[in-house]
Copies of this chain bind each other. A is one copy, B any other.
């Protein structure tokens, strides 16, 4: 930010910034506005804006109740937004367990798991299974970074969905994937048949 804002200006801008991107942590906001973290905390208190975890929890509350294809515990990350058969967003806080010991780089399959479970979750059906995927791990993710995945249904033909998932750390795109997911009743029959034959 160029010139120094007055307190009122800063609080107005802070409110807008958080509405635009509820995932910003106090540290990031402090950097954006060129003030201390303590100042941001006081601003939030005065504006009655909860801290980031609470903000995310509020967003999440409604999302889970809409999901049909998987149970809540089956989504990798926290689901914070969903519009069935259209789109969805989830966040995953990465931790030590997800990283390589030496380099502390998050393993690709954790990033894939978040994207895959989100792609399945947004489909309006009882049973949805991943058929094909094409993924690109665009740059390394470090332990502790927060992954924000957005899934968008690109096309739907009969029981076949094409879904694109893009995952970011802050503003950086770290992963992009195309998921072909099959859903519906016909699948149910086929799955049963295979289970019996093995």
A residues with a Cβ closer than 8 A to B are 70-71, 74, 76, 100-103, 105, 107-109, 112-113, 116-117, 126-127, 129-137, 139-140, 142, 145, 169-170, 172, 188, 190-191, 194-195, 198
Evaluate whether A137 and B127 lie within 8 angstroms (CB atoms) in the complex, with A76-B109, A109-B112 already known: no
Would you give the shortest CB distance from A75 to chain B, in whole angstroms?
Answer: 11
Contact assessment for B112 and A129 in the assembled complex, using a CB-CB cutoff below 8 Å = no
- A129 vs B130: C-alpha distance in the bound complex, in angstroms? 23
Contact (Cβ within 8 A) B191 A140: yes
Q: State which of B74, B101, B198 has its C-beta within 8 Å of the C-beta of A107.
A: B74
User: Is the Cβ of A108 less than 8 Å from the Cβ of B136?
Assistant: no
- Given A107-B74, A113-B109, A172-B198, decide whether A136 and B127 contact each other with a Cβ distance below 8 A: no
Find the B residue at minimum CB distance from A138: B131
Residues of B within 8 A of A100 (CB): 70-71, 74, 127
In the bound complex, do residue B131 and residue A133 qualify as a contact, i.e. CB atoms below 8 Å apart? no
Q: Is A129 touching B145 in the complex (CB atoms < 8 A)?
A: no
B135 adjacent to A132 (CB under 8 Å): yes
Check A116 against B109 for contact (C-beta < 8 Å): yes
Bound Cα distance A132, B108 (Å) = 10
Is B105 a contact of A191 with CB atoms below 8 Å? yes
> Given that A71-B101, A198-B145 are contacting pairs, would A131 and B140 also be in contact in the complex, using a CB cutoff of 8 Å?
no
Interface contact B136-A132, CB-CB below 8 Å: yes
Sample (10) of A-B pairs whose CB atoms are under 8 Å apart: A70-B100, A71-B100, A74-B100, A76-B109, A107-B117, A129-B137, A130-B137, A132-B137, A135-B135, A145-B198
Taking the closest CB of chain B, its distance from the CB of A99, in whole angstroms, is: 9
Say yes or no: B108 contacts A129, CB within 8 Å: yes
Chain B residues whose C-beta falls within 8 Å of the C-beta of A170 in the assembled complex: 198
In the complex, what residue of chain B is closest to A136 when comparing beta carbons? B132
> What's the Cα separation between A127 and B101 when bound, in Å?
11
- Alpha-carbon separation in the docked complex, A132 to B177 (Å): 10
